[in-house]
Amino acid sequence: MGNGEARADVTILTHSYLNAYQQQYTRPFGGGLERYVGLLCRTIARMGLRPLVYQLSYYGEFSTSYEGSPVRGWTYEVDALAAAFERMAAAAEGLIIYASCIWQPIAYRPGSIGICHGINWDYSRMELKTKANIAAIIGSAIRQLDLIVSVDSHFQTYCRSTCEFDDSSKIALLPNPVDTSQFRPKNEKSANRLSSKEASGQTYGKEVTAPKPLRVLYPRRLSYERGVVAMMLVTDKLLDRFANVTVEFAGELLDHTPVAAAFQLWIEAQPHKERILVRTYSFDTVQDAYHAADIAVIPTLYSEGTSLSCLEAMSCGVPVVATDIGGLNDIVIDGLNGRLVPPRWVPLYEAICDLLGDASLRGEMAAAARQTALAFDEARWSSRWERLIAAQLEKLGQNAAT
């Protein structure tokens, strides 16, 4: 290994971790993949092993550390991702975990593990030829890798229906986790639900107060596939209809992109922009956004695994309105712990309106959401990863701990 790096027992290869998009190498970029890599590093370190992260960096190489784990950025060409991963793998030590880009035609190092964070080619307008090429690439990945960890059942089913392989255990279903001790209801007594009259600000006497302020939260990256455009359309309608509603956009926005330009122009032109909040939270403070929310919206259009923001909202006891995309179908049961609707803005809007108008229903779904999240607790996820890594190291003839 070069650049004076410490030896590693496990090297994680990923296209993104620290915020190389904006050359802010002191913190991860605010997405689910980046949070996953951080959790995986901590799990590896708890095993007594030494993790190392290699990530792609368009603006130049860098070498640093985050939470005690070394991180190195590698330059690359945008149209040559597979070659970049192969260069990183050639320099890697120990067990390699390919944490992203499994849809790229990578020549994998034997004895490695791959991760699929959700299908990002489930865009209905993508050409069939492109989808067929991806199926061939995924089939090649299954043959080359010893194990693929799938964060949702969508990818597992996809592989079984489009790829030919003998060993069904090569694809391990391990949904994304949530720290249920960090992400917990703000008020543990919140199960004591308000009645509809209390929620609307009505009292049983002659006094009538203003409607209770309500907040709708979009806790996602502000990107097209994450449904930000649909959420903008929903926000227009919500703010026109409900004078007591505020909408918060809590997520990363990449500067100098078409989506960023459109979002900024929309904000400036929105007649109720004083009731639109735009904030970016750290991993340590994002629960504050959930605690202030009455409803969380996960309006993904395509490319979704088991959404961390969905799990975090549910763990905080916030009812969710989500689209029926990818791994969201593994989390949300429509009518029980949230609402699950088609990926269009009108069904999203209608489901949100239903919840805004029914405090009792919000309370019931909030309680069920919290119970659902407990099944995805981070401790269970970490334990499962520890067993997978230990088994693979044993297979490779390496010690499972130093």
CATH number assigned to the domain comprising residue 313: 3.40.50.2000
Is 4 part of a structural domain of the chain? no
Q: Which residues fall within 8 angstroms of residue 186, CB to CB, at 6 or more apart?
A: 291, 316, 317
Tally of structural domains, the chain: 2
- What pLDDT does 398 receive? 74
- What pLDDT does 6 receive? 61
Instruction: Identify whether residues 218 and 240 lie together within a single domain.
Output: yes
- What pLDDT does 193 receive? 38
- What pLDDT does 136 receive? 96
Name the residue with tokens 């088991």. 306
Phi, psi for 333 (deg, rounded to 5):
-105, 110
Q: DSSP for 233-253?
A: HHHHHHHHH-TTEEEEEES--
How many angstroms separate the CA atoms of 122 and 141, rounded?
18
Residue type, 275: R
Is 191 part of a structural domain of the chain? no
How many angstroms separate the CA atoms of 209 and 320, rounded?
27
pTM: 0.87
Could you tell me the two tokens for 61?
Answer: 């190489």
- What pLDDT does 84 receive? 97
- What pLDDT does 5 receive? 59
Could you tell me the two tokens for 120?
Answer: 């990002």
Give, in degrees to the nearest 5, the angle at Cα 363 between 319 and 282.
40
Mean pLDDT by 10 residues, the chain (402 residues): 68 94 85 92 97 94 95 94 97 97 97 96 92 96 97 95 91 97 81 36 45 95 94 98 97 87 96 96 91 98 94 98 96 98 97 97 97 97 98 86 48
Instruction: Identify whether residues 302 and 348 lie together within a single domain.
Output: yes
How many angstroms separate the CA atoms of 250 and 255, rounded?
15
| Nearest one of 7, 91, 18 to 51, comparing CA atoms | 7
- What pLDDT does 254 receive? 80
Instruction: Identify whether residues 227 and 333 lie together within a single domain.
Output: yes
Is 40 part of a structural domain of the chain? yes
Instruction: Identify whether residues 160 and 19 lie together within a single domain.
Output: yes
- What pLDDT does 119 receive? 94
- What pLDDT does 211 receive? 83
Domain residues for 58?
10-177+378-395
* Cβ 90 vs Cβ 74: under 8 Å: no
